[in-house]
Amino acid sequence: MGMAGRVGLVTGASRGLGRVIAGVLAARGVDLVIGARDAKALGLAAGELHEQGSAVVAVAGDVTDASVRQRMIDASRELGGLDFVINNASELGSIGPLSRFDIPGMGRIFPVNVGAPMALVQLALPMLVRRRGLIVNVTSDAAIAAYPGWGPYGASKAALELLTRTLAVELREQGVSAVIVDPGDMRTRMHQKAFPGEDISDRPLPEVTIPFWQWLFAQDFAAISGRRFAAREVHAEWQQPA
Protein backbone atom coordinates (compact mmCIF):
# COMPACT_ATOMS: atom_id res chain seq x y z
CA MET A 1 0.00 0.00 0.00
CA GLY A 2 1.57 3.29 -1.09
CA MET A 3 1.55 6.31 1.17
CA ALA A 4 3.06 8.90 -1.15
CA GLY A 5 2.54 12.42 0.18
CA ARG A 6 2.54 11.39 3.84
CA VAL A 7 5.27 12.48 6.23
CA GLY A 8 6.74 10.66 9.21
CA LEU A 9 9.07 11.77 12.01
CA VAL A 10 11.20 9.06 13.64
CA THR A 11 13.56 9.66 16.58
CA GLY A 12 16.50 7.39 17.29
CA ALA A 13 16.53 6.50 13.60
CA SER A 14 20.23 6.15 12.82
CA ARG A 15 20.32 2.42 13.59
CA GLY A 16 18.47 -0.42 15.25
CA LEU A 17 14.71 -0.35 15.62
CA GLY A 18 14.33 3.29 14.57
CA ARG A 19 16.17 2.60 11.33
CA VAL A 20 13.89 -0.38 10.66
CA ILE A 21 10.74 1.67 11.26
CA ALA A 22 11.99 4.44 9.00
CA GLY A 23 12.74 1.85 6.33
CA VAL A 24 9.21 0.46 6.45
CA LEU A 25 7.78 3.96 6.04
CA ALA A 26 10.19 4.83 3.20
CA ALA A 27 9.26 1.62 1.39
CA ARG A 28 5.67 2.85 1.39
CA GLY A 29 6.62 6.21 -0.09
CA VAL A 30 6.47 8.22 3.13
CA ASP A 31 8.75 11.27 3.29
CA LEU A 32 10.80 11.34 6.46
CA VAL A 33 12.36 13.50 9.13
CA ILE A 34 14.79 11.36 11.10
CA GLY A 35 16.71 12.26 14.23
CA ALA A 36 19.56 10.84 16.32
CA ARG A 37 22.61 12.05 18.22
CA ASP A 38 25.21 10.37 16.00
CA ALA A 39 25.40 12.69 13.00
CA LYS A 40 27.57 10.36 10.93
CA ALA A 41 25.37 7.30 11.41
CA LEU A 42 22.28 9.42 10.85
CA GLY A 43 23.67 10.73 7.57
CA LEU A 44 24.36 7.19 6.37
CA ALA A 45 20.82 6.14 7.27
CA ALA A 46 19.38 9.17 5.47
CA GLY A 47 21.29 8.28 2.31
CA GLU A 48 20.04 4.70 2.37
CA LEU A 49 16.46 5.78 2.97
CA HIS A 50 16.60 8.38 0.20
CA GLU A 51 17.62 5.64 -2.22
CA GLN A 52 14.19 4.12 -1.65
CA GLY A 53 12.67 7.20 -3.26
CA SER A 54 11.53 9.21 -0.26
CA ALA A 55 12.53 12.74 0.66
CA VAL A 56 14.60 12.47 3.85
CA VAL A 57 15.71 15.24 6.21
CA ALA A 58 18.22 14.29 8.89
CA VAL A 59 18.28 16.34 12.09
CA ALA A 60 21.26 15.44 14.25
CA GLY A 61 21.12 16.29 17.93
CA ASP A 62 19.77 15.36 21.34
CA VAL A 63 16.00 14.98 21.45
CA THR A 64 15.97 16.59 24.91
CA ASP A 65 17.21 19.82 23.30
CA ALA A 66 14.24 22.08 22.50
CA SER A 67 16.02 23.57 19.50
CA VAL A 68 16.56 20.10 18.00
CA ARG A 69 12.88 19.26 18.43
CA GLN A 70 11.92 22.53 16.78
CA ARG A 71 14.20 21.78 13.83
CA MET A 72 12.45 18.43 13.39
CA ILE A 73 9.05 20.10 13.40
CA ASP A 74 10.18 22.83 11.00
CA ALA A 75 11.56 20.18 8.63
CA SER A 76 8.27 18.27 8.80
CA ARG A 77 6.33 21.41 7.98
CA GLU A 78 8.55 22.04 4.96
CA LEU A 79 7.80 18.52 3.73
CA GLY A 80 4.09 19.27 3.93
CA GLY A 81 2.93 18.29 7.39
CA LEU A 82 2.98 15.26 9.69
CA ASP A 83 1.10 11.97 9.58
CA PHE A 84 3.29 9.92 11.94
CA VAL A 85 5.36 10.73 15.01
CA ILE A 86 7.42 7.74 16.13
CA ASN A 87 9.04 8.35 19.53
CA ASN A 88 11.67 5.63 19.46
CA ALA A 89 14.73 7.31 21.05
CA SER A 90 15.33 5.87 24.53
CA GLU A 91 17.83 6.12 27.37
CA LEU A 92 18.61 2.97 29.35
CA GLY A 93 20.61 4.59 32.14
CA SER A 94 22.68 2.55 34.57
CA ILE A 95 21.59 -0.92 35.65
CA GLY A 96 21.49 -1.63 39.38
CA PRO A 97 19.26 -2.30 42.41
CA LEU A 98 17.02 0.50 43.60
CA SER A 99 18.36 0.15 47.14
CA ARG A 100 21.71 1.46 45.92
CA PHE A 101 20.64 3.51 42.93
CA ASP A 102 22.07 7.00 42.70
CA ILE A 103 18.86 9.01 42.43
CA PRO A 104 20.52 12.10 40.89
CA GLY A 105 22.08 9.61 38.49
CA MET A 106 18.68 9.03 36.91
CA GLY A 107 19.84 11.99 34.86
CA ARG A 108 18.58 11.58 31.32
CA ILE A 109 16.21 8.62 31.75
CA PHE A 110 12.96 10.53 32.27
CA PRO A 111 13.88 13.53 30.10
CA VAL A 112 14.62 11.26 27.12
CA ASN A 113 11.96 8.59 27.64
CA VAL A 114 9.07 10.74 28.85
CA GLY A 115 9.71 14.48 28.60
CA ALA A 116 11.03 14.63 25.04
CA PRO A 117 8.25 12.49 23.50
CA MET A 118 5.57 14.61 25.13
CA ALA A 119 7.26 17.86 24.12
CA LEU A 120 7.58 16.63 20.54
CA VAL A 121 3.91 15.64 20.43
CA GLN A 122 2.90 19.09 21.67
CA LEU A 123 4.86 20.74 18.86
CA ALA A 124 3.58 18.28 16.25
CA LEU A 125 -0.06 18.38 17.30
CA PRO A 126 -1.36 21.09 14.94
CA MET A 127 0.00 19.17 11.94
CA LEU A 128 -1.20 15.83 13.29
CA VAL A 129 -4.71 17.24 13.72
CA ARG A 130 -4.79 18.46 10.13
CA ARG A 131 -3.67 15.06 8.82
CA ARG A 132 -5.54 12.90 11.39
CA GLY A 133 -2.18 11.43 12.28
CA LEU A 134 -0.76 8.69 14.46
CA ILE A 135 1.57 8.89 17.48
CA VAL A 136 3.62 5.75 18.18
CA ASN A 137 5.47 5.59 21.49
CA VAL A 138 7.96 2.73 21.81
CA THR A 139 7.93 1.01 25.18
CA SER A 140 9.38 -2.12 26.80
CA ASP A 141 8.15 -5.10 28.76
CA ALA A 142 10.14 -3.52 31.61
CA ALA A 143 7.17 -1.15 31.91
CA ILE A 144 4.91 -3.94 33.12
CA ALA A 145 7.32 -6.44 34.73
CA ALA A 146 9.70 -5.99 37.65
CA TYR A 147 13.18 -6.72 36.30
CA PRO A 148 15.90 -6.39 38.95
CA GLY A 149 18.22 -3.52 38.09
CA TRP A 150 15.90 -2.01 35.49
CA GLY A 151 13.67 -0.04 37.88
CA PRO A 152 14.20 3.57 36.68
CA TYR A 153 14.10 2.62 32.99
CA GLY A 154 10.96 0.53 33.53
CA ALA A 155 9.35 3.32 35.53
CA SER A 156 9.99 5.80 32.71
CA LYS A 157 8.41 3.47 30.17
CA ALA A 158 5.44 2.83 32.46
CA ALA A 159 4.95 6.59 32.67
CA LEU A 160 5.15 6.86 28.89
CA GLU A 161 2.51 4.16 28.52
CA LEU A 162 0.03 5.91 30.80
CA LEU A 163 0.63 9.24 29.07
CA THR A 164 0.09 7.59 25.68
CA ARG A 165 -3.22 6.11 26.76
CA THR A 166 -4.24 9.50 28.10
CA LEU A 167 -3.27 11.16 24.82
CA ALA A 168 -5.41 8.65 22.95
CA VAL A 169 -8.44 9.66 25.02
CA GLU A 170 -7.75 13.39 24.98
CA LEU A 171 -7.04 13.62 21.25
CA ARG A 172 -9.78 11.33 19.96
CA GLU A 173 -12.18 14.17 19.18
CA GLN A 174 -9.40 15.96 17.26
CA GLY A 175 -8.84 12.91 15.07
CA VAL A 176 -5.34 12.08 16.36
CA SER A 177 -4.54 8.53 17.45
CA ALA A 178 -1.85 7.18 19.79
CA VAL A 179 -0.55 3.66 20.36
CA ILE A 180 2.13 1.93 22.43
CA VAL A 181 4.47 -0.63 20.87
CA ASP A 182 6.71 -3.06 22.75
CA PRO A 183 9.22 -4.47 20.26
CA GLY A 184 10.56 -7.12 22.65
CA ASP A 185 14.19 -8.05 23.34
CA MET A 186 16.35 -7.44 20.29
CA ARG A 187 20.01 -7.45 19.33
CA THR A 188 20.64 -3.72 19.53
CA ARG A 189 23.35 -1.46 20.88
CA MET A 190 21.16 -0.36 23.80
CA HIS A 191 20.32 -3.94 24.74
CA GLN A 192 24.01 -4.85 24.68
CA LYS A 193 24.66 -2.00 27.14
CA ALA A 194 22.27 -3.69 29.54
CA PHE A 195 24.35 -6.86 29.41
CA PRO A 196 27.98 -5.68 29.16
CA GLY A 197 30.38 -8.40 28.14
CA GLU A 198 27.61 -10.93 27.53
CA ASP A 199 26.74 -12.61 24.25
CA ILE A 200 23.29 -11.44 23.13
CA SER A 201 23.48 -13.08 19.70
CA ASP A 202 20.47 -15.22 20.63
CA ARG A 203 18.26 -12.11 20.43
CA PRO A 204 16.75 -11.40 17.02
CA LEU A 205 17.63 -8.33 15.01
CA PRO A 206 15.08 -5.47 14.90
CA GLU A 207 14.06 -6.57 11.39
CA VAL A 208 11.98 -9.30 13.06
CA THR A 209 9.36 -6.60 13.75
CA ILE A 210 8.91 -5.57 10.09
CA PRO A 211 5.64 -7.53 9.56
CA PHE A 212 4.12 -5.75 12.52
CA TRP A 213 5.07 -2.26 11.30
CA GLN A 214 3.76 -3.04 7.82
CA TRP A 215 0.47 -4.04 9.39
CA LEU A 216 0.29 -1.09 11.79
CA PHE A 217 0.76 1.64 9.20
CA ALA A 218 -2.02 0.17 7.05
CA GLN A 219 -4.65 0.34 9.80
CA ASP A 220 -7.55 2.65 10.52
CA PHE A 221 -5.72 4.56 13.23
CA ALA A 222 -8.83 5.62 15.11
CA ALA A 223 -9.85 1.97 15.48
CA ILE A 224 -6.60 1.01 17.23
CA SER A 225 -5.95 4.18 19.22
CA GLY A 226 -5.07 3.58 22.87
CA ARG A 227 -3.93 0.00 22.33
CA ARG A 228 -0.65 -1.60 23.42
CA PHE A 229 0.99 -3.92 20.91
CA ALA A 230 3.74 -6.50 21.39
CA ALA A 231 5.38 -6.39 17.98
CA ARG A 232 6.96 -9.83 18.14
CA GLU A 233 3.84 -11.73 19.09
CA VAL A 234 2.53 -13.83 16.24
CA HIS A 235 -0.92 -12.61 15.25
CA ALA A 236 -2.54 -13.63 12.00
CA GLU A 237 -3.81 -10.09 11.42
CA TRP A 238 -0.34 -8.62 11.01
CA GLN A 239 1.32 -11.58 9.31
CA GLN A 240 -0.66 -11.00 6.14
CA PRO A 241 1.16 -9.57 3.09
CA ALA A 242 1.13 -5.76 3.24
Catalytic residue annotation:
153
- Alpha-carbon distance of 111 to 113, in angstroms, equals 6
How far is CA 119 from its chain centroid? Answer: 14
Strand 177-182 relative to strand 84-87: parallel, antiparallel, unpaired? unpaired
Q: Count other Cβ atoms within 10 Å, centred on residue 121.
A: 20
Decide: 50 and 101 in contact? Cβ < 8 Å.
no
Cβ atoms 100, 61 nearer than 8 A: no
Task: Decide: helix, strand or coil at residue 152.
Answer: helix
Which residues fall within 8 angstroms of residue 8, CB to CB, at 6 or more apart? 22, 25, 30, 31, 32, 33, 82, 83, 84, 85, 86
Rounded distance between C-alpha atoms, residue 114 and residue 110, angstroms: 5
What's the CA gap between 26 and 123, in Å, rounded? 23
Q: Are 49 and 32 in contact (CB under 8 A)?
A: yes
> Distance of alpha carbon 99 from its chain centroid, rounded?
30
Residue type, 165: R
Contact 231, 182 (CB under 8 A): yes
